[in-house]
Every structure is written in structure tokens, then in C-alpha cells.
Amino acid sequence: MIAIHLDQVSVTYIAQPVFQQLSWEIHDNRVVGLVGPNGAGKSTLLRLVAGHLHSDTGYVNRSKELTVGYLPQEPDLDPMSTVWQEALTASTALAAVNRALTAVEAELGDPAVYGDAAKLAQVLTKQEHLLVQFEELGGAAYEGRVRTTLTQLGFASELARNLSVSTLSGGQKKLVGLAKLLITQPKILLLDEPDNHLDLHGKQLLEQVIRSYDGGVVIISHD
């Protein structure tokens, strides 16, 4: 099934055409490789498909309710987080609910709240609503999915999951970025040179994930 259709799209950068009148169909059940030398416009095309860039001409049509996961060459990770903490932020909705629950727990420990029946009832009601949201978002099973995904990508031990992002190699950061995408299970994965900086073992893990992924995958490579 066609998930994304590019129709006669063109992109120009500093008065130079990157590509012109390009048409392309991306299917939700195929693995596709974009191969070419550096500077050929592969990353620009992937950013356009991901919705991070607008075309000068033509259209990018996406199927209804399509979810897309985009892994840039340099994943945006918090250097102050551990691998585990960073992976947990994959679901932004769940992360927001978790932050709100933490704030509510702090309120419940405040004497000004638990000593006032009306305030306490209000905070408990807020907590109840947040717990309902947590369950609706799959929160009970979420940590298990995060742990399983990190294990698939080489972070099997508790020690590995507690590593600081700031200490990771470039390849390990790529794998954490990929893990965050896999946790959210998008219909289409867009991977910009995902094997960059990976050692042989990392490349084998990446290949296994791509082969088993239940969705469409577009991979950029320069070789």
C-alpha cells in the first residue's frame, strides 16, 4: 500500500536545485535504499518526506493517520540523561503524563495539601485522571517495551541502560535514537545513514531490526 506519494517535487538551496520535478511512491511494507555520493540530496529528500522541509513545487501526500519515524545523522539526545531515561522519552505523551504524576506526588507530600481536605480531594482527583491517561496510553506495558527494544539494540544489561548519553560513542547514540523510534512503532521508518559510526556488531543488530520491522523502511547510504 502506498503510504507517501511525492508528486513533481523540487527543492532549491541557495539558488541551486537539489532535485527537480521528482516523483516517488513509498510503500508501508517495503525496505528501500537511497544510495549515492555525499551532496547528492539524499538527506534533503528524507527531510522532505519526514515533513521537516517544504518543497518549492509539487506535493507530498501522506496516507490518513500515517505515523513516520525519522532518524537524522545526529540524533537529538539529552547528554544529561541515561540511556534508560532517554529511551523513556520516546512517547512524548507518556513522558508528559509521567512528569505530571511526579508533580502530583510532590503535592501530596506537601503539608499544605494533605492538611487541607478540599485541596487534598482536588489533588487526588487530578492524580486519578492522570492514572487513567497513563493506562490509556499503554503505560503499564510501556517500560517492558522500552526494555525489550534496548535489549535488541545492545543495551541488555542494567549497567548499559544506566550509561550516561554523554559517554556514548557516535554509533551507540545512533542506536539509542533508533530505539526511540522503534518504541513508538511508526508505520514508516526514515533512517539517514543509520550505520554510520557503528562497529560490526552494531551493524548486525541494525540489520536484524530492519529485517524484522513490521512496516516500511527507507535507508540512506553513501556506499
DSSP state of 41: S
90: which residues sit within 8 A by CB, 6+ positions away? 146, 179, 180, 181, 183, 184
What's the pLDDT tens digit per position in 22-63? 999 999 889 999 998 888 889 999 999 999 999 999 999 999
Of 223, 177, 169, nearest to 201 by C-alpha is: 169
3-state class (DSSP) for residue 30: coil
* pLDDT confidence of residue 140: 79
Please report the sign of the dihedral spanned by the C-alpha atoms of residue 154, residue 160, residue 161, residue 167: negative
* pLDDT confidence of residue 221: 85
Of 16, 68, 76, nearest to 41 by C-alpha is: 16
pLDDT band at 95 (very low <50, low <70, confident <90, very high): confident
Q: Count the alpha carbons within 13 Å of 47 in the hemisphere toward its beta carbon.
A: 13
Q: C-alpha 43: how far from its chain's center?
A: 17
* pLDDT confidence of residue 1: 85
Asked whether 149 and 143 are in contact (CB, 8 A), the reply is no
Distance, CA of 164 to CA of 39 (rounded, Å): 33
Average pLDDT over residues 84-88: 93
Question: Could you confirm whether domain 2-78+145-221 is CATH 3.40.50.300?
Answer: yes
Distance, CA of 217 to CA of 223 (rounded, Å): 17
* pLDDT confidence of residue 79: 96
Of 181, 152, 178, 150, nearest to 82 by C-alpha is: 150
Residue 137 CB: number of other CB atoms within 10 A?
15
Domain ranges of the chain: 2-78+145-221, 92-136
Average pLDDT over residues 82-92: 92
Distance, CA of 184 to CA of 91 (rounded, Å): 6
What's the pLDDT tens digit per position in 103-142? 999 999 999 888 889 999 999 999 999 999 998 888 878 8
pLDDT of 151 higher than 70: yes
What's the pLDDT tens digit per position in 166-223? 999 999 999 999 999 999 999 999 999 999 899 999 999 999 999 999 999 999 987 6
* pLDDT confidence of residue 223: 62
Model-level pTM? 0.83
